[in-house]
Amino acid sequence: MKIAIVGCGSRHKMFRDSVADDYADKHEIVALCDVNAHRLGEAARAISRPGTNGVPTYLAPDFDQLIAEQKPDTVVVATPDFLHADYIVRAFEAGCDVICEKPLTIDLSRLKMIIDAQARTGRQVKVTFNYRYSPARTQIKEMIASGVIGEVTAVDFRWHLDRVHGADYFRRWHRQKENSGGLLVHKSTHHFDLLNWWLGTVPTHVLASGRRAFYRPETAVAFGLEGRGPRCHLCPVAEKCDFELDLSADEKLKSLYLDAEGEDGYVRDLCVFDEEIGIEDTMQAHIRYASGATANYTLTAYSPWEGLEIKFQGTKGDITHRHVEVHGVFGGERAHADEDAVSTELHLAGEAPRMLDVPKAKGNHGGADPVMLGYIFDPEGMEPDRYGRASDHVAGAWSILAGIAANASIETGSLVNIQSMLRAHGITLER
């Protein structure tokens, strides 16, 4: 398969290295494309091999020329979220399939573009929901599908972002909803997709609240950061700020962003306490599902630790699952948890609760990434996927609809009916 990658920021590396290092006997990267010539050159050098002419590179305005000259079979889209729809549609129209970083897109108008183009061309998009492939999450899927706790009636799902990872969304392009859809779309798409997949259903109604409670100018004052600069680089109070991101101290970040600023002016280390930030850091949503189940969902972006806590209530008992990814942030440093920081408890009615053995695997995201990449780039070499973990345009759409509805509910203060929202925009979701 001939593959072109669009977007050469940090997220493309997983796909680039997987093809170049693990599946080079099956696939070829025929082109790289980005808005930034410096990052484009860095990405090309990373996969250059002795005895070859290297990988052709194209600036973003030349994407159509890339398609015409290199004729890829598949386009990997790893651009900022608001650009996904444009590249997906253009790839479809050119006869290419697509592998897309999550989220599929950020709003209903762009979603309609994708749905209509897919129906018109018959091309396919895979949305890379790696959490589905984690052995621990797959175990949850298997348990629920087996009926061990009966019908799932209610779920409580809390996701905690720590003060390093969480803060990062407030210093770069994600900080404005017109770029990312806010965290309820950009980040929560993973979590809403898991709920859809685990429960085998889709959301119907959402009532949500959200605000920016922590990443505000007032918090900077409370931390004694008066006189802060517009960005971490050369900030006069950086030495006493636990949220400093020193791009010059990390060779990868320096090369990818600080050294690339002259090309397009993109700044990677804006102050997380800026007034003009347009996304929430504290969000809660109540979600109703077509199956009759309901879920209460909480996302915070300034927790002292990172990970998830989830409880499934069923008619025969409950499942409690907890994963501590980072124990805490101390002086700006993250204390990563060990492999035993994942637990799952099964408590059936009339029985004592029991802790289950949680399966483990090596690799990023709890061993999920190597499995997902195997199914994407070498499906014949993998076992048949009895869990239905692949995500197409329909699954990608349902994963963002709870977040889009939650954003609308925050704005209006009202319960949002997702089917009514889809009808109002002329969107029909069918495989």
Res 338 pLDDT > 80: no
The percentage of the chain sitting over the pLDDT mark of 90, rounded to a whole number, equals 91
Q: Which stretch of DSSP H or E encloses residue 118?
A: helix 108-121
**pLDDT (average), residues 415-421:** 98
pLDDT computed for residue 364 by the predictor: 79
Task: For the beta carbon of residue 118, count every other beta carbon within 10 angstroms.
Answer: 21
348: which strand partners? 317
332-362 exposure pattern, b = at least 16 Cβ within 10 A, e = fewer: eebeebeeeebebebebeeeeeeeeebeebe
Query: For the chain, what is the mean pLDDT?
Result: 95
Out of 95-99, 256-260, 311-315, 366-370, least confident range = 366-370
pLDDT computed for residue 87 by the predictor: 98
The domain ranges of the chain are 2-129, 131-214+279-361+392-424, 217-264
The string of pLDDT tens digits covering residues 170-221 is 999 999 999 999 999 999 999 999 999 999 999 999 999 999 999 999 999 9
Res 339 pLDDT > 90: no
| Residue written as token pair 């002329």 | 426
Residue 311 vs residues 249, 318, 320, 345: alpha-carbon distances, Å: 40, 7, 4, 9
pLDDT computed for residue 52 by the predictor: 64
205 vs 217: CA distance, rounded Å: 34
Res 138 pLDDT > 70: yes
Res 281 pLDDT > 90: yes
pLDDT computed for residue 332 by the predictor: 64
What is this structure's pTM? 0.95
pLDDT computed for residue 430 by the predictor: 78
Task: For the beta carbon of residue 211, count every other beta carbon within 10 angstroms.
Answer: 11
Q: Structurally, what CATH architecture does the domain formed by 2-129 represent?
A: 3-Layer(aba) Sandwich (3.40)
Res 407 pLDDT > 80: yes
pLDDT computed for residue 336 by the predictor: 80
pLDDT computed for residue 366 by the predictor: 77
The string of pLDDT tens digits covering residues 283-318 is 999 999 999 999 999 999 999 999 999 999 999 999
Res 386 pLDDT > 70: yes
Instruction: Give yes or no for a contact between 311 and 136, defined as CB atoms under 8 angstroms apart.
Output: no
Q: How confident is the model at residue 329 (pLDDT cuts 50, 70, 90)?
A: confident
Residue 347 vs residues 314, 353, 399: alpha-carbon distances, Å: 10, 4, 29
**pLDDT (average), residues 55-84:** 97
pLDDT computed for residue 143 by the predictor: 98
- Residue 222: alpha-carbon gap to chain centroid: 31
5: which strand partners? 32, 76
pLDDT computed for residue 333 by the predictor: 72
131 vs 308: CA distance, rounded Å: 12
Tokens describing residue 300: 């915070």
Q: How confident is the model at residue 360 (pLDDT cuts 50, 70, 90)?
A: confident
pLDDT computed for residue 51 by the predictor: 63
**222 Cβ contact list (under 8 Å, min separation 6):** none
**pLDDT (average), residues 118-146:** 96
Q: Which of 379, 364, 363, 384 has its CA nearest to residue 1?
A: 379
Q: How many CA atoms lie within 13 A of 401 on its CB side?
A: 30
The string of pLDDT tens digits covering residues 41-57 is 999 999 987 766 689 99
pLDDT computed for residue 431 by the predictor: 64
| Residues, the chain | 431
**330 Cβ contact list (under 8 Å, min separation 6):** none
**pLDDT (average), residues 78-107:** 98
Instruction: Give yes or no for a contact between 91 and 114, defined as CB atoms under 8 angstroms apart.
Output: no
pLDDT computed for residue 72 by the predictor: 98
- Taking the alpha carbons of 87, 91, 92, 96 in that order, is the dihedral positive or negative? negative
CATH 3.30.360.10 fits 131-214+279-361+392-424, yes or no: yes
SS3 label, residue 137: helix
